[in-house]
Each structure stands twice: as structure tokens, then as C-alpha cells.
Structure 1
Amino acid sequence: MGTLKDRLTVDMRTALKARDEVTTSTLRMALAAVGAAEVAGRAKRELGDEEVLAVLAKEAKKRREAAAAFAEAGRGEQAAKETAEGAVLERYLPSQLSDDELAEAVAAALTAGGFTGMAQMGPAMKAAQSAVAGRAAGGRVAAEVRRQLAG
């Protein structure tokens, strides 16, 4: 199989033939977001798999936040729709690290970079983010880096 974008396109066509409306509309939206990212900037360019993953992660985060907002507002049906769309997108994202795995990865990144105090939070975050490579939400990574630098 080719790139992640190709896989999304093939899966969308398969869902369309199977009349799976949630998957079809979600993948159509994801491909539109990828297309928008490709034309952003000075010249149109083809996104690599890592960049497509970043777009998908951003879209999945939007769905989680929207589902929470709808649930809080008492709009359960809309929240369920957003949650279902998020589940479709999650299939294409790398599996998330457990808390123990995250703590281990952050500790290794901090040790390798020689980061010891809160004054080095920025560079420490950059090192930790590259160590987990999209397998944990930024908020979780930041909380773990803060905890380890403070301790």
C-alpha cells in the first residue's frame, strides 16, 4: 500500500460502497483537512505520512473537544456523533502510551538531554515530544515533564 493519504482514500471508497455513512463522512472530512494543509503556504505540496498523521491527530482532538462540549450542553446525540467520528480517526493514529510508558520515555529524554530544573522546561518539552512522537497528547507530556523536572 502507498502512503497514509492513499490508505485514507481507499478506506473512504470502501466505506462509501458499504454505505457506512459515519466512516465515509469522517474520512471525507479528514481528506479535506489534509488537502487544505497541502495548499497552505506559498505552494501546493504533497504531505508526508508524518504530516498527515499530525493533521489526523489535530482532527481527532477537535472531535474529542466537541464531544465533551456537546455532552456538557446536554446534546447527547451530537456528542455521540463526534465520539464516533473520533473513533474512526483513532484507527489511523499510533497507539497511545500508557502512563508508565510515558513516564519512562520522558525520563529517558530528560536524562539524555541533561535537563534538571523547571528553567529548562521549553527544551525539555521539545526533547520529550520528539521521544513520544505523537503517541501521547501534549497535555499529558507537559504534565509528566513538569512532574519530573519539579521532583
Structure 2
Amino acid sequence: MTLIERLKDEQKAAMKAKDKPRLGTIRLVMAAIKQREVDEKITLSEDDVLAVLTKMVKQRRDSVAQYEAAGRQDLADVELAEITVLEEFMPQPLTDDEVAALLDEAIAATGAASMQDMGKLMGVLKPQVQGRADMGKVSQLVKAKLG
């Protein structure tokens, strides 16, 4: 079952269960996917849908930090609930050891030796860790290894 089919099934289930917060979040995802398809005049692949989900989770995490800094826990809780729903559709996150192992494999495959090779290395790593690890942390690990 593709990710889009799974989202549609979950949307129907949320409608039947009258779960408005979950339904609203899934509708936001479907709208973001449809918007990107219309803008780019393409049908999104699984990786593209995963990229949309990853972006939405990142946006919500940023919002949570801003709401908490402003003392608006009520709004932060809404964003946290949306993150929980979004993460159900994301693949299992990688552990730090798994990310380190993938990094070592990518370094061996590309022959990266300095910071000048970071772009090439990230190009190899990104498809493997997309949606499964925080790209900011991955970037920091790459810099630590190459620097």
C-alpha cells in the first residue's frame, strides 16, 4: 500500500470515527501533496510524499518552540498533536548508530576526505536518511567526520 493510499484510508477512518483533530491534520497533508502536484505538474513519488511529511513535521516543531517561548502552551499542544499524527506515516527513525554506520559507508563509497566533499557526501546520504533522521544532526555528524 502506498503512502498516499494509506493517508486516504486513514482519512476515511478519521471521518467515520468523527476524530476532527486527526482528520484536519490528514487533510492538511493531502492538501500539501495536491498543492505540490499542481504546482510542479507531476505525480509525487513515495520519496516526494515523504519529503512533504518531513517538511510539515519540521514546520510544526519550529512552531512548538516559538509557541512555548511565547508562553502559549495551548497552541503548542495543538502542534504537538499534529506532529504525533504526521509521524504515524513516517518510516521508523534511525538510531544514532545506524546513522553513523550509513555515514561511514557513504564516506567509503565517495572517498570523501575534506569539507569540500560534503555536498557529494550529503547527496549520497540524503536519500537513505530522508524522513528517518534529522538532516541537521546528519549534517553536524558529516562536518565532525570531515572537519
Structure 1 length-normalised TM: 0.91
Matched ranges for 1:83-102 at <5 A: 83-102=80-99
C-alpha deviation, 1:133, in angstroms? 3.7
C-alpha displacement of 1:111? 1.1
Report runs of 4+ in structure 1 exceeding 2 Å deviation: 130-134
Letter in 1 for 2:105: A
Once residues 70 and 91 of structure 2 are traced to their aligned partners in structure 1, the CA distance between those partners, rounded to angstroms, is 31
Quick one: which of 65, 69, 79 aligns to 1:68? 65
Identity across aligned pairs (percent)? 39
Cα distance in 2 for residues equivalent to 1:61 and 1:76: 18
Query: Are the equivalent residues in 1 in contact too, given 2:50–2:130 (CA < 8 A)?
Result: no
Is contact 1:110-1:128 (8 Å) kept? Answer: no
| Alignment partner, residue 25 of structure 1 | 24
Residue 144 of structure 2 aligns with which residue?
Answer: 147
- Return the offset for 1:54: 1.0
The answer on 1:116 being equivalent to 2:103 is no
For these two proteins, the number of residue pairs brought into alignment is 147
Q: Any stretches of 5+ residues in structure 2 without a counterpart?
A: none
1:40 offset after TM fit, Å? Answer: 0.9
Change (3 A) 1:115 1:60: same
2:143 is aligned with what amino acid?
Answer: R
- Which piece of structure 1 moves more, 11-20 or 120-129? 120-129
Q: Which runs of 5 or more residues in structure 1 are unaligned?
A: none
- Specify the alignment match of 2:4 in structure 1: 5
Which one scores higher on RCO, CA 8 angstroms, separation ≥ 6?
2
Q: Secondary structure at the match of 1:32?
A: helix
Find the counterpart in structure 2 of residue 56 from structure 1. 53
Alpha-carbon distance in 2 for matches of 1:46, 1:118: 36
